[in-house]
Structure 1
Amino acid sequence: MTRPDLAVRRFVLVAVWLPVVLVAVGVMIQLIALPQLPATIAVHWNAAGEADGFARAWTQPLMTMLFGLGLPLLMALTSLGGLRRGDRGPTYRLMGASAAAVSALVTVALTWTLVMQVGLDAASQAPTVWAALAASLVAAAVVGVAAWFLQPKTDTAGVPSRPAEPLALGPHERALWMRSTSMSSGGAIAIVAAVLLVAVCAVAAWVTGADPALAWLLTGVAALLVFFAATTLAFQVRVDDTGLRVVSVLGFPRFRVPLADVESAALAHVNPMGEFGGWGLRIAPHGRRFGIVLRAGEALEVTRRNGRRFVVTVDDAGTAAALLEALVQRAAARS
């Protein structure tokens, strides 16, 4: 029988310690090679495999640590909290394997492309990059698969939804339920950390003279992450005789389930990583569920007439579900 803490220990092994070891070995090799390199090395190659972007040699170990360790640690930190609370599911296993694979990909690619320039007189003489790319992809695949199988198989520890008992509602009585819901501190920290990491990478790309295309790409991704963070950190949830409406505090995005499209409403308990693979606007891998998942815990779950389910994590979700059930039954009685 698998011990309860085995999933956590194996996850830390593949998502934290393995990247630390990989990056440490890669950076050590790079530091040993630095004295034998030209001051400026090739860091980008065009579609023909020819060097067309250059940077100072000392930036390569820095980039290896930033990307090879920073990205996996960010992935690990977004998952460890849930695992330690007892959440389980294949998403955690995938995150651990992905963290290890990303570290292997980055470390092998950056180490190989640096070492292959040892002894050159000028960075323009750098050989093609195809061997380094192939080696890094193979390393990522091997490490990722190994990390997957090193972790135990676990099932999502979901709590079944509880159908709502309709509120007592008169034939002509008006009722309104409203609540605001916001991202949990853990989810918000993860999102802010992701934005900061990409922003730091963008700044580093500009400062170190990396390829302008890469610098602009990182800048664009950082701006996009800021937009998504700003529009998905908090929502207003409303239930009335028109149905369910969920609107970001900034006014966009907006979601609506008309009353005529509501089959039933229930109180659910959500495990963000295990059921939806994370926080924010999410689609569950199974069950035809779309969710505005801002934290773990209670949520309003609405089943549409086509069988699809809409989930929003919010306090007092049981009252919202009960009111929605009452409104649906009253509308059915009138028709």
Structure 2
Amino acid sequence: MAADRSRALSRFVLVGVVLPVVLAVVAVVTQLVVLPRVPDPVAVHWSAQGVADGFASPWLYPVMTLLLAGGLPLLLSLASLPGLRRGHGGPTYRFMGATSLGLAAFLGVMLTWLLVMQVGLADASDVEAVWPAIIGAVLAGAGAGVAGWFLQPHVDQPAPTTLPATPITLRPGERAVWMRTTSLGRGATAAIALGTLLVAITAVAAYLSGAEAGLVWILAGVTVILVVLSATTVAFHVRVDESGLEVRSVLGLPRFRVPLGEVARAAAVEVAPMGEFGGWGIRLVPGRFGIVMRAGEAIEVWRGEKRRFVVSVDDAATGAALLEALAARSRTTAAR
């Protein structure tokens, strides 16, 4: 099993990091070679009819290729590496590696093709329709993604490990409260910040290159949404008391509650964000809803047979034990 996970890690690094970097470098070098032979400005935007209607400096292509074809795949892969190093597995990691390679191939081929097809033109407005470049890039990205999937071995995600907890005994009428704050790790926070920055840079580049106002506004709107989502989901307060379990953003919203009457069972478990939930933050997978801020200990609450709520937090064993004790006392009181 250890050998399988070591092989999965090495293949993921090859598919999700090394090959995307190689593709991005090849694309940028190719663009730099043809740069003296293209018009200035070059076409950077085409209408729905395939006619060039936006123009900018030729240097925009290698810069955008470096940021997008190189930066985005690395962002996806580097966010997954910590979990793989801890021995986590599952199809999500395999998919992330394949997606990184496919994204690098798609963006590298498309941006390079769009520049190369303007070689020798006196005026960039005479450039051909953009559709062959888009179709070729989609095929290249899809092919690279499929190849990236099969280059990586299949490794299952281990079942969650239940952590030992000391039972808590509560006397009738005794009050108890447990509180903690949980937040994203530095790596995940940096990944979110870099992703938001890349979208913002793309919006500025679209504006400076004379792109359609609608596209610029969409990119600007996405940037604002990412900033708001990041601010409201980067850290949460977790509280266990007589009302149940509450998980609330440090900004107040969003807020999630599991009333004491819905707690069938609670336990402290080890979670692997990427392997079990496909990432960090507010996550929903079949049968489980989670506030997953990092790998490690978490409180898991069973709300009946098929629904579970998970929140990753320090000292999860104490929080889960108190929630169990409060729920047990509540059931005993209700039965009298």
Please state which band the TM-score falls in when normalised by the shorter chain: over 0.9
* SS of match in other structure, 2:264: strand
Conserved? CA contact 2:262–2:303, under 8 Å: yes
Instruction: Report the RMSD for the aligned CA atoms in angstroms.
Output: 1.9
* SS of match in other structure, 2:23: helix
- One-letter code aligned to 2:288: R
Show the counterpart of 2:327: 328
**CA distance in structure 1 between the aligned counterparts of 2:174 and 2:25, rounded to whole angstroms:** 68
* SS of match in other structure, 1:310: strand
Conserved? CA contact 1:243–1:257, under 8 Å: yes
**CA distance in structure 2 between the aligned counterparts of 1:203 and 1:50, rounded to whole angstroms:** 22
Aligned 1:251-290 pairs, distance under 5 A = 251-284=252-285, 286=286, 288-290=287-289
Q: Number of residue pairs matched?
A: 333
- What per-residue deviation string (whole Å, max 9, x for no partner) do you get for residues 205-230 of structure 1? 33444444443333222222221111
* SS of match in other structure, 2:16: helix
Conserved? CA contact 1:289–1:309, under 8 Å: yes
Gaps of 5+ in 1: none
Conserved? CA contact 2:4–2:155, under 8 Å: no
Q: 1:36/1:128 Cα in 2 relative to 1: closer, same or farther (>3 Å)?
A: same
* SS of match in other structure, 2:132: helix
**CA distance in structure 2 between the aligned counterparts of 1:44 and 1:132, rounded to whole angstroms:** 13
Show the counterpart of 1:120: 121
Q: Give the Å deviation of 1:151.
A: 0.9
Aligned 1:131-170 pairs, distance under 5 A = 131-161=132-162, 166-170=167-171
**CA distance in structure 2 between the aligned counterparts of 1:204 and 1:44, rounded to whole angstroms:** 12
Q: Give the Å deviation of 1:173.
A: 1.6
**CA distance in structure 2 between the aligned counterparts of 1:119 and 1:229, rounded to whole angstroms:** 45
Show the counterpart of 1:293: 292
Show the counterpart of 2:236: 235
Q: Give the Å deviation of 1:164.
A: 6.0
**CA distance in structure 2 between the aligned counterparts of 1:163 and 1:74, rounded to whole angstroms:** 35
Conserved? CA contact 1:158–1:270, under 8 Å: no
Show the counterpart of 2:61: 60
**CA distance in structure 2 between the aligned counterparts of 1:213 and 1:14, rounded to whole angstroms:** 35
Matched, 1:310 2:299: no
Matched, 1:104 2:91: no
Q: Give the Å deviation of 1:88.
A: 1.7
Q: Give the Å deviation of 1:250.
A: 0.6
**CA distance in structure 1 between the aligned counterparts of 2:244 and 2:93, rounded to whole angstroms:** 35
**CA distance in structure 1 between the aligned counterparts of 2:219 and 2:250, rounded to whole angstroms:** 27
Conserved? CA contact 1:158–1:269, under 8 Å: no
- What per-residue deviation string (whole Å, max 9, x for no partner) do you get for residues 135-178 of structure 1? 01100110000011111111113433358665211222222111
Give the TM-score of the pair, scaled to structure 1.
0.93
**CA distance in structure 1 between the aligned counterparts of 2:245 and 2:196, rounded to whole angstroms:** 31
- What per-residue deviation string (whole Å, max 9, x for no partner) do you get for residues 292-334 of structure 1? 1111111011111362111001111111111111222222222
Gaps of 5+ in 2: none
Show the counterpart of 2:41: 40
Greater mean alpha carbon deviation, residues 241-250 or residues 49-58: 49-58
- One-letter code aligned to 2:322: L
**CA distance in structure 2 between the aligned counterparts of 1:214 and 1:306, rounded to whole angstroms:** 46
Show the counterpart of 1:12: 13
**CA distance in structure 2 between the aligned counterparts of 1:191 and 1:162, rounded to whole angstroms:** 30
**CA distance in structure 2 between the aligned counterparts of 1:210 and 1:48, rounded to whole angstroms:** 15
**CA distance in structure 2 between the aligned counterparts of 1:213 and 1:15, rounded to whole angstroms:** 33
**CA distance in structure 2 between the aligned counterparts of 1:329 and 1:16, rounded to whole angstroms:** 50
Give the TM-score of the pair, scaled to structure 2.
0.93
- One-letter code aligned to 2:176: A
* SS of match in other structure, 1:334: helix
- One-letter code aligned to 1:186: G
Aligned 1:25-36 pairs, distance under 5 A = 25-36=26-37
* SS of match in other structure, 1:47: coil
Conserved? CA contact 2:166–2:318, under 8 Å: no
Q: 1:331/1:4 Cα in 2 relative to 1: closer, same or farther (>3 Å)?
A: closer
The percent of aligned pairs where both chains have the same amino acid is 56
